[in-house]
Amino acid sequence: MEGLYVIVAIAVIGLLAFGLWRSAKRRKELAAWASGKGLSFRPGRDAGFDERYRAFGCLRRGHSRFAHNIAEGNRNGRRVVAFDYHYVTGSGKNRQTHRFSAVVLHGDVRLKPLRIRSENVFDRVTEFFGIDDIDFESAEFSRAFYVKSADKRWAYDVLHQRTMEYLLAMPRFSIQFDDRCAIAWRNRRFGVETFESAIGVVEGILDRLPEYVVRGQRDGKERT
C-alpha cells in the first residue's frame, strides 16, 4: 500500500512540474511575441479587467477572475491589450477552473454596442420561437454569424458587404463592441498566431468602417 502512495505522489509531483514548465514556456513565448511587436508584457495577475471592461460579459463570468500574460501597447494607431483570462465557477466538488484568451482594441472613433459570433444549433432553435438575431442581405453571412445590436442601423453600417465578405474569409471569433473598444475571444487559450489573427480580425472590421460612419462618430453626432 505504501508503494502505491509513493507512485501516486510521484505522479502528482510530475503533473505539477509539467504544468509549471508549460506555463513558463507559454510566458516566454508570449513575452517574445510582445517584445517583437513593441508591446509591454506583464505575466502577473490583474484582477481589474472585469471592472475596466464592464460591458464584456465574457470577463464577468464566475468568480476569482483575473487576467495575466498581458501584452499591451499601440499598434497601427490603436491601443491593443492581449491577455489570458481565468475564472472559476462552482465550489467544492463542483468547482471548475476556466481559461481563455482575448484581445481588446480601443477604437479611434466612438463605437456602439454590437455582438458578432458564429451561429450555432441553439440559435436556430430559439429562432423558431421568435428569438431572432439581425439578418443581412447576404444569406451566407446570416447563416454563419449571429449578430445582435439594439441599433440595427449601426449593425448594418458596420457589417456592410465588404466587411461581411472579409469575416466569412477570416478565422472565427466571438466579437463584442462597447462604446469605446472591441473584444475578440474564444473559449480556449490562444497561441501566438491566434493572438495575431484575433487582432487582425478586429482591425479589419474597424478599418472597413465607412467614411460617413467614421466622420459622424468622431463628431459625436447621432445619425437620423
- Using the predicted structure, report yes or no on whether residue 125 has a pLDDT greater than 60: no
> For 180, what's the count of Cα atoms within 13 Å in the CB-facing half-sphere?
6
- Using the predicted structure, report yes or no on whether residue 17 has a pLDDT greater than 60: no
Q: Quick one: pLDDT band at residue 25, thresholds 50, 70, 90?
A: very high
Give counts: helices (H), strands (E), the chain: 8, 8
Q: Would you state the cell numbers that stand for residue 87, as one nine-digit string?
A: 475564472
Name residue 86's beta-bridge partners: 66, 99
**For the ranges 20-24, 60-64, 92-96, 122-126, which has the lowest average pLDDT?**
122-126
- Using the predicted structure, report yes or no on whether residue 188 has a pLDDT greater than 90: yes
- Using the predicted structure, report yes or no on whether residue 81 has a pLDDT greater than 60: yes
Domain map (residue ranges) of the chain:
38-219
pTM of the model: 0.85
pLDDT of residue 6: 57
Q: Quick one: pLDDT band at residue 24, thresholds 50, 70, 90?
A: confident
